[in-house]
Structure 1
Amino acid sequence: MGSDGGHCSFVLLAEFDILAGAQLKYQFPQPLGVDESVLAMSMLPDGAETQLDDWTVFFLNQTAFNTISPVLALDTPEVKTTALLGEPTSSAKDKPDLLCVLNLVRTKHLQDPTKNRGAQVLALAICTRHPFIQIFKPVLLMALDDYFSDPSQDCLARLFDAVNSMDLSGAPILTRNEKMVMRSSERKDIFAEKFAHLAPPPQSWNNNNGKTLLQHRSTHSGESFSSFEEGILMRNKEREEPAVAQLQTGQSSPSEASFSLGGSAVWVGDESGIDVESGEGEGEGEENSILSFVGTTVTEPNRRRRSTDASSGSSLAHLKDGMLRPSMIHTPSYYDPNMRSGVAKDTHFYHTTVAYKDHQLPIKMPLATFPEEVGDYSLITLIKAFSSQALVSGPQHPHLHTNGPQTHPIIILFNALLTGKRIIFLGHRKPAGEVSSFVLSACALGSGCGAVLRGFIERSFPYANLNNRDEWEAVPAYIAGVTNPIFKSSPTWDLLLDISTGSVTVARDIHSTYPVSAGMPLGVPSVARSATFNTETSLGSEEDMVRAANAKDGAKTDFVTKTDNNADNFFIEDIKSAIEYHYGESLVRVRFTEYVLRFVRLASRYEEDMTGTTKFGYPSYAFDSRAPNPRLGSGIVFNDDSTGRKELAANSHRIEAWRKTNSYEYVCADFRNAQLSDAIQGFDVAHQLFRVRNAKIMSDGEVSAIMRTLAENVKTYDQVVELLAYLMPHGGGLIHLAFSLFHQKESVRDATVDLFNQLRAYPVGVLFLQALNHFQRYAYVRQAHAREKRLAPDQYQHQPPPQQQQPPPSQSFYGGSSSFNRTYSTDRMVTPTMNGGF
């Protein structure tokens, strides 16, 4: 993504003529080679004259009729442009890149009502390979204003040059796992270290002691440093400095009182003790400590350290009305406003500018966007628009109605996307931009917000019309947005969603279009594992199967799906509760990502039961402690066999239909690539984390094997980020792994400490450790110190016993209304009395 990275491929301008209709007036810098009438009609939607401004989106290079070559105007047909950094390459080597077209339509009313019906309708569009097309809206608005005042092709040239001169060379390129961690975290300093090269600190920023506030020491990733700051394990400053001096000169070894784990960085939950830039650090005496850390969070000048009560640092998930709430994490300011303007305070975005004429337009580029997420879509708006089961009409089909008549409209839509049905969003008398937004939201819904599945955007038409109807209706499993109500009577769709009324209609002939045949019974023996479900378990009632297969039209269909599996409805109710409690779009997106991830793992188990193996998942078997080296479990986990049979039965039809789509082929290819490129190899990470979090009964041997395997295989930065990508903050983050700090077996506690030490070597791991509650953080600090002493006995053999002072009654460790008192004495030290916990 350099400054010459080809952000804009083409610029188009269309105009509505009262006699000739929609006309494509300019194509810059060269013609696209696509039917100009098709482009003009796509840029000037029906009813555009009734809207002052409207935004629409459409795509190029989806089918033969809208394919252009080369993708970039400055390329030659023989030289194919390389894929954007951080994006997966296409499975077809000669398949051109998808081009997203952001189009702005404006109606300008004229003084002379006799000319052009009293209004001038223009549309200006840019073609780009970037999915985050919303960042170009400011410059597109200014360019269209410019064209109205000076209608010439020079305006298009200025827009083309301005967008392509946008400098994204400093933007961090995130891997898939880094994007998963970033989008699941609401911390505005997540991956802040990736921005360190953009904002060198002013040398004049000093604290009251003359020491630079912004500090950093160059180090290898395995080394670490720590700033000495007050914490629950620290004495006052007068006692702290002599301890450091003694450690540096070798006169004495550190005691538990003087042992620093980064001060507040891990214990308190505040970032004021973390170093970021070059300078003399306070923690030089501990540079060999296995628990020290190179920090990256910048603090505000002379900012006070926050208090350490339970409410300020603890990030336990809260339960309210049965709804899992994401934890509230303290979010510090990462950049000072006095720094240069191109640097973001929120690291979820990269801030840059576009210079158009004499204006510097600010641009916020999101860093965690996947190719299947185009534009600024909203799942909350989609869910609110289609929330009533009473508005669903038409016959029931097993591909769509996985919970019979109680299936929620959003689940019906998801099933239709997943199983390759033809879908139309109708918005009669609605702006074309609103219809386009619903189509883009649906694509994100089906793909798990771009993080799990793909293949939806390439068959979507956010704005479709009668002029190119034959082309887009010929695309299998299309997802189209229309404004003309004539499509309601078209026989070519399978599911129609009316955004004006919130109604969902299933086509009457869907059973004849997609016949359902009886599938194989569950329980086919699998060579990959020792046991499976009972062979007498079937996917569904044979009577229901035959009834659905023999149905000829909607009037004769009385297919009824068993409703004893309500997992989908529980999930939707949970999402609706989050929306009612005003949780944001980011939480809803993360929850749908988890939902689609679980479906893929469930489908992998189904495929394994049917064929004996699976192409896109780990084989399913339980933990085996009989072997000399215990074998960890793998595959999806059910609470019990009965629950597993019900869930597989409820999902069997949509899984079978999904396996016939291109989305399934993409998943298989992605899994093969992941097996070669994943940093953590050799075991199913998701299975181990699910067992630790949800297992009702776990043997000590399994817990020990899981924690030791994680500690041995999560050491490098890529491995740490991959593990954290599975640990969503709203689900507790590291909190369930941290319970192993209180396990009765010392080997489990030691393995957990080793794992946390390795996480703490990287800034993103520190942020996750900060989200632990006070008890877990203290247990980690104490056990890490004790383990360090055991690993280096010679260093501590001459250490005199520390003198302890009892805290005053008002500062009791358990005093006050919260778990920890808000006021601490720097003279006190808490000594745990239990081995392995409090």
Structure 2
Amino acid sequence: MAGSGNHCSFVLLAEFHIYEGPQLKYQFPQPLGVDESLLATSMLPDGAEAQLDDWTVFFLNQTSFNTISPVLALDTPEVKSVSLPGEENPIDKGDKPELLCVLNLVRTKHDKSLNRGAKVLALAICTRHSFIQIFKPFLLLAIEDYFTDPSQDCLARLFDAVNSMDLSAVPLLTRQEKLVMRSSDRKDIFAEKFSQSNSHVTNGSRGNLHKSSNSGESYSSFEEGLLIRNKDKSQCGEEKKGKRENGVRTRTDTDSSTTVPSVQMSGQSQGSPSDTSFTLGGSAVWVGDESGLELAKDGVGDSNSVASLAGSSTVVSSRKRRSTGASSSSSQAASREHHARQINASQSYYDTHRRHAMVKDTHFYHTTVTYRDHPLPIKMPLATFPEEVGDYSLISLIKVFNSPQLVSGPVHPHLHTSGPLTHPIIILFNGLITGKRIIFLGHKRPAGDVSNFVLSACALASGCGAVLRGFIERAFPYANLENREEWESVQAYIAGVTNPIFESSRAWDLLFDISSGNVTIAKDIHATYPVVTPAFGAPPITRSGTLKAETSVNSEDDMNRKEGNKGDGITTNSDKVFIEDIRAAIEDHFGEGLVRMRFAEYVARFVRLASRYEEEVTGVTKFGHPSSCFTDIPGQSAKLGGGIAFVDEVTCSRELAANAHRIEAWRKTSSYQYCIADYEKFVAASAIKGFDVLHQLFRVRYAKNLADTEILGIMRALADNVRTYEQVVELLSYAMPQGQGLLHLSFGLFHQKEAVRDATVDLFNNLRAYSVGVSFLQGLNHFQRYAYVRQAHAREKKALQQQQDSRTESNFSLPGTYARLHSNSVVNGS
């Protein structure tokens, strides 16, 4: 991946002329070949003079009106566009030009000496990257620079500064890794990726990017993995440094018998726990007290050092009960000091960015770019997708449009999946996926506000970029009368306007007023989109209930709580349950990240439901696993189920019928075609093959009275097919924290069948071989983690005893210490 250059394709500057209106003054490094008046009006929105600063976004290469045709082609065989994490295109676009994002800053500078008392300028950069928010500091300095020195040199400096940004060390994350990263709150998630990418730059070869090794890329026990958790607390370390004496913490409450060997064991197998790694010293303090794990802060301040500790098979492995004896404290402090010196001496270099990122957040890549002697800190998000443009906010969107009473207009089955009281956000989602013309109106509001609402709507419909796509290419975050012909030429546009004249134009199907929260549905929507009876038939109305399958609530208990009032005659469906869950999360002050994950789950469930519908109607589905149930025929191997799962067939029929209209409408859109193409790519690249992982996780989570044969088949299939790094990450991307992580799989540790318990231990051993798996296992509660450690330790002791017995029978023996070392090396895989 090219690390620098070509981040910025063009720089534009527009100025409002008192007599001639908006004028495009400069285009650097060359003209775009687009109508200059069109660009100028897009850069200088209506009412810009009323705002001191305003940020707007628009796109190029969407239509024939705004497709660029530069005089000098920038994309030559020698100069290709930069491909960065989150920007991989799932399918080839052929001859379709690449979409360019334009980040535009409008500034009004008051000056009484001017005719109108102010000067209005707009400075914009065109980039291929969707995370355009990282370029805001450049524009802020550059526009001030232009006010001081109004010349084209300012544009050249901005162009060169942006393209000088070196991203060669940015970790390359796959789609599954991005899903895991965005679902994790740990600030050290995938920390090893930073050292690997840096090593690739330093050594000129990437090497093994995925599989962990003893040199510091995985942890040989949970205790060592827990060291990472203390890194989050190290931000207050400056206050604690004064309590240290000669580089050693003075503690009196640490473990009396903790010993830290001075020699790291080599050849330790990461695939299975070692005997020493599970030694708890006769105490369960490991699962409830981490006071003895302060070595990460005391002796070593770097994640590489922590990983090196993890590479040892015996570090912090024999923790005993706590003691307040001064002598034991002193001896332990001396041992820690000695080991810290040894670790520091053994490491040849420290990864600067990795240490930096561990303090800040590995969800971002941190770098610095200098613009005219001003260092600009850049924080590039690593888990974004192309459908996520800018720093949007779903919470703001939900708070504004949060009342079904503010919805007016006719009821249409494409939009109202819950009848007249369908929530405005569900109406918006339905309108987006069924290809309706949508306008966000913000009268007397900054153009940046409507732009953000349009970008948020696109992210909402796409599942925050992780599930569907095709919305950004028909989005016009800021639209006006001058470019009306352009955006209205798009069949299903999503536009943001500030001029109220569009409300009376009726050239829309849905109008969302961001000032009042009103939602208006066009009166002629039935004529524009005639209602056709779906192939699946009309929904039954004789029963009422709550869908329990694959919804976004936290557990079945939450489901039962939400379906308490069944006798009120109102049918509660999954959309209502989902919205209630989202509203409760916002009221409880959960963050934007959780809300985004909830919407990603909701859109993913819609796609799985549509796959089942297509299979019911046509007999086959093009973008999902075929629906089937678990079968166990005596004398034959059991076959796992697949497809979206329901608690019963009545619930399945009711859900399919209730969603039939919007599914039929979605199947006629470009998003549906993209989904089919993306699914083919996903199946080809999937690491876990042969069965539907999501179906198995749902069965483990929700199914009641699950047969022993089925749970054994599920756990054994996961244990046998989740071994490599790619397979582990793919499983974790399905078992995200919002879906309780590995909680429900861990219940296999307490199953009455020994085979199920063994399969669960095997699976967790495979996860523990990689640091990302360790981070998820640490999310289990203490009781579950202790159960895993106890069973894994018992299995290893049993295996060790069997090996010793076999050696005795063969009359093979080694004297004393050498025999013990040899047996340990055999167990550890040396």
TM-score tier by shorter-chain length is 0.7 to 0.9
What TM-score results when the alignment is normalised by the length of structure 1?
0.77
Tell me the SS of whatever aligns to 2:8. Answer: coil
Partner residue in 1 for 2:688: 680
Contact 1:10 1:73 in 2 (8 A): no
Are residue 7 (structure 1) and residue 27 (structure 2) matched?
A: no
Are residue 720 (structure 1) and residue 728 (structure 2) matched?
A: yes
Partner residue in 2 for 1:59: 59
- The amino acid of 1:52's aligned partner reads L
Partner residue in 2 for 1:103: 104
Partner residue in 2 for 1:608: 615
Tell me the SS of whatever aligns to 1:144. Answer: helix
How far, CA to CA, are the matches of 2:663 and 2:198 in structure 1? 50
RMSD of aligned Cα (Å):
3.6
Tell me the SS of whatever aligns to 2:659. Answer: helix
Change (3 A) 1:72 1:701: farther
Contact 1:265 1:273 in 2 (8 A): no
Are residue 515 (structure 1) and residue 533 (structure 2) matched?
A: no
Are residue 356 (structure 1) and residue 368 (structure 2) matched?
A: no
Tell me the SS of whatever aligns to 1:396. Answer: coil
How far, CA to CA, are the matches of 2:186 and 2:71 in structure 1? 37
Change (3 A) 1:645 1:254: closer
Q: After superposition, what is the alpha-carbon deviation per residue over 1:276-318, rounded to whole angstroms, capped at 9, x for unaligned?
A: 349985874569x9xxxxxxxxxxxx9x99xxxxxxxxxxxxx
Which one is further off, 771-780 or 216-225? 216-225
Partner residue in 2 for 1:124: 123
Partner residue in 1 for 2:758: 750
Change (3 A) 1:663 1:269: farther
How far, CA to CA, are the matches of 1:722 and 1:355 in structure 2? 39
Change (3 A) 1:395 1:229: closer
- How far the C-alpha of 1:39 sits from its partner, in A, is 0.3
Partner residue in 2 for 1:237: 257
- The amino acid of 1:492's aligned partner reads A
Change (3 A) 1:672 1:476: same
- How far the C-alpha of 1:189 sits from its partner, in A, is 1.0
How far, CA to CA, are the matches of 2:430 and 2:625 in structure 1? 24
Change (3 A) 1:596 1:54: same
Change (3 A) 1:380 1:225: closer
Contact 1:230 1:236 in 2 (8 A): no
- How far the C-alpha of 1:193 sits from its partner, in A, is 1.2
Partner residue in 2 for 1:709: 717
Are residue 599 (structure 1) and residue 599 (structure 2) matched?
A: no
Q: After superposition, what is the alpha-carbon deviation per residue over 1:614-668, rounded to whole angstroms, capped at 9, x for unaligned?
A: 0000010100011611000000011111211111111110000000000000110
- How far the C-alpha of 1:419 sits from its partner, in A, is 0.3
Change (3 A) 1:264 1:167: farther
Contact 1:104 1:125 in 2 (8 A): yes
Change (3 A) 1:223 1:387: closer
- The amino acid of 1:665's aligned partner reads Q
Q: 1:366 aligns with which of 372, 378, 381?
A: 381
Partner residue in 2 for 1:589: 596
How far, CA to CA, are the matches of 1:620 and 1:385 in structure 2? 39
1:657-676 aligned at under 5 Å gives the runs 657-676=665-684
Q: Give the percent of matched residue pairs that are identical in Structure 1 and Structure 2.
A: 66
Are residue 569 (structure 1) and residue 597 (structure 2) matched?
A: no
Partner residue in 2 for 1:168: 167
- The amino acid of 1:788's aligned partner reads E
How far, CA to CA, are the matches of 1:228 and 1:797 in structure 2? 31
Contact 1:85 1:173 in 2 (8 A): yes
How far, CA to CA, are the matches of 1:580 and 1:401 in structure 2? 25
Partner residue in 2 for 1:152: 151
Partner residue in 1 for 2:737: 729
Are residue 783 (structure 1) and residue 791 (structure 2) matched?
A: yes
Contact 1:71 1:96 in 2 (8 A): no
- How far the C-alpha of 1:105 sits from its partner, in A, is 0.2
Partner residue in 2 for 1:415: 430
Contact 2:33 2:70 in 1 (8 A): no
Change (3 A) 1:640 1:66: same
Which one is further off, 335-344 or 427-436? 335-344
Contact 1:265 1:766 in 2 (8 A): no
Which one is further off, 729-738 or 651-660? 729-738
Unaligned runs of 5+ residues in structure 2 are 200-210, 227-253, 269-273, 297-302, 318-329, 334-349, 543-568, 808-830
How far, CA to CA, are the matches of 1:355 and 1:244 in structure 2? 43
Q: 2:503 aligns with which of 488, 509, 514?
A: 488
Contact 1:404 1:563 in 2 (8 A): no
- The amino acid of 1:726's aligned partner reads Y
Change (3 A) 1:430 1:105: same
How far, CA to CA, are the matches of 1:346 and 1:773 in structure 2? 24
Partner residue in 1 for 2:648: 640
Contact 1:616 1:668 in 2 (8 A): yes
Tell me the SS of whatever aligns to 2:595. Answer: helix
Contact 1:13 1:25 in 2 (8 A): yes
- The amino acid of 1:579's aligned partner reads I
Are residue 793 (structure 1) and residue 826 (structure 2) matched?
A: no
- How far the C-alpha of 1:564 sits from its partner, in A, is 2.1
- How far the C-alpha of 1:196 sits from its partner, in A, is 2.9
Are residue 454 (structure 1) and residue 505 (structure 2) matched?
A: no
Contact 2:438 2:494 in 1 (8 A): yes
- How far the C-alpha of 1:65 sits from its partner, in A, is 1.1
How far, CA to CA, are the matches of 2:571 and 2:104 in structure 1? 47
1:286-297 aligned at under 5 Å gives the runs none
Which one is further off, 645-654 or 25-34? 645-654
Q: After superposition, what is the alpha-carbon deviation per residue over 1:118-142, rounded to whole angstroms, capped at 9, x for unaligned?
A: 1100000000011000111111000
Partner residue in 2 for 1:180: 179
Change (3 A) 1:217 1:32: closer
Tell me the SS of whatever aligns to 1:370. Answer: coil
- The amino acid of 1:50's aligned partner reads A
Contact 2:184 2:737 in 1 (8 A): yes
- How far the C-alpha of 1:2 sits from its partner, in A, is 3.5
What TM-score results when the alignment is normalised by the length of structure 2?
0.78
- The amino acid of 1:63's aligned partner reads T
How far, CA to CA, are the matches of 1:70 and 1:436 in structure 2? 27
How far, CA to CA, are the matches of 1:413 and 1:636 in structure 2? 24
How far, CA to CA, are the matches of 1:51 and 1:400 in structure 2? 36
Change (3 A) 1:749 1:144: same
Contact 1:519 1:539 in 2 (8 A): no
- How far the C-alpha of 1:788 sits from its partner, in A, is 1.5
- The amino acid of 1:582's aligned partner reads H
Are residue 347 (structure 1) and residue 362 (structure 2) matched?
A: yes
Tell me the SS of whatever aligns to 2:15. Answer: strand
Tell me the SS of whatever aligns to 1:488. Answer: helix
- The amino acid of 1:569's aligned partner reads K
Q: After superposition, what is the alpha-carbon deviation per residue over 1:432-473, rounded to whole angstroms, capped at 9, x for unaligned?
A: 000100000000010011100000000000000100101110
How far, CA to CA, are the matches of 1:72 and 1:768 in structure 2? 51
Unaligned runs of 5+ residues in structure 1 are 201-215, 290-301, 306-334, 523-537, 543-561, 800-838
Partner residue in 2 for 1:399: 414
- The amino acid of 2:47's aligned partner reads G
How far, CA to CA, are the matches of 2:85 and 2:420 in structure 1? 45
- How far the C-alpha of 1:705 sits from its partner, in A, is 0.3
- How far the C-alpha of 1:388 sits from its partner, in A, is 1.1
1:186-201 aligned at under 5 Å gives the runs 186-196=185-195
- How far the C-alpha of 1:521 sits from its partner, in A, is 3.4
Partner residue in 2 for 1:18: 18
Q: Which has the higher helix share?
A: 2
How far, CA to CA, are the matches of 1:494 and 1:595 in structure 2? 24
How far, CA to CA, are the matches of 1:53 and 1:280 in structure 2? 49
Change (3 A) 1:455 1:219: same
- The amino acid of 1:95's aligned partner reads K
Are residue 761 (structure 1) and residue 769 (structure 2) matched?
A: yes
Change (3 A) 1:72 1:712: farther
How far, CA to CA, are the matches of 2:154 and 2:259 in structure 1? 69
Contact 1:498 1:504 in 2 (8 A): yes
How far, CA to CA, are the matches of 1:541 and 1:610 in structure 2? 21
How far, CA to CA, are the matches of 1:577 and 1:227 in structure 2? 34
